[in-house]
Amino acid sequence: MQNAEHLQGLYVLTNEHLQAPDQLLPAVAAAIAGGCRIVQYRDKTSSDILRAQQARQLQALCRDTKTLLIINDDIRLARECRAHGLHLGKDDADIQTARKQLGNDCIIGVSCYNDISLALTAEKAGADYVAFGSFYKSGIKPDAVQAELDMLTSARKKLRIPIVAIGGISAENAPQLISAGADMLAVISAVFAQTNIEASARELSDLFISSR
């Protein structure tokens, strides 16, 4: 998969409750300016028309900035906006269906919560990355399944594909996730709920430089 080498670093997820529709694009542009390498467009409540419009705008921004755009859960939207990839949760389509509709070059990521066996199954089925979490209490998903650092360390030894850590991540707790084996840190509030989005993204992005 041609984009696999870019699956490292800061991975931001959009949230329709943190920015007004006309502020989404500037917010994501600021995160990219701060070093974000992957953007996931996630919107569960807006109209199909608005979601299609925003996805197209984000695709153009990500194309121009050489940033990966991942669509959450929506195969049709990912195909129509020509996103780089799709992220699947436990109640979404299976990997084979997504791959058949989106092609071999599409990045497919899978949420595996705190279950390494799910991740191994996803890897075998052709996933390009897996995500574990929530590692810390999340204001966005307060009832999310909790994952432990030692599970992340174990997963790093067993998996060949990149790993995303998600859930309550901040600049203070992020270093231990990177040390435990996370290739990417997926954040929402730590970037998009901050007054200075670019600076907040830069603080997290720089952790990957200092860890090398």
At residue 118 the predicted structure's pLDDT band, cuts being 50, 70 and 90, is very high
Q: Which fold has domain 4-210?
A: TIM Barrel (3.20.20)
The question of whether 141 is a catalytic residue gets the answer yes
Residue 79 has pLDDT above 80, yes or no: yes
- Which pTM does this prediction carry? 0.94
Q: Which of 99, 111, 138, 200 is catalytic?
A: 111
In this structure, what is the dihedral angle of CA atoms 148, 135, 199, 25, given to the nearest 10 degrees?
Answer: 140
Give the model's pLDDT for residue 198: 98
Q: Which of 79, 82, 141, 189 is catalytic?
A: 141
d(CA 49, CA 99): 25
Closest CA to 132 of 92, 180, 91: 180
Give the model's pLDDT for residue 199: 98
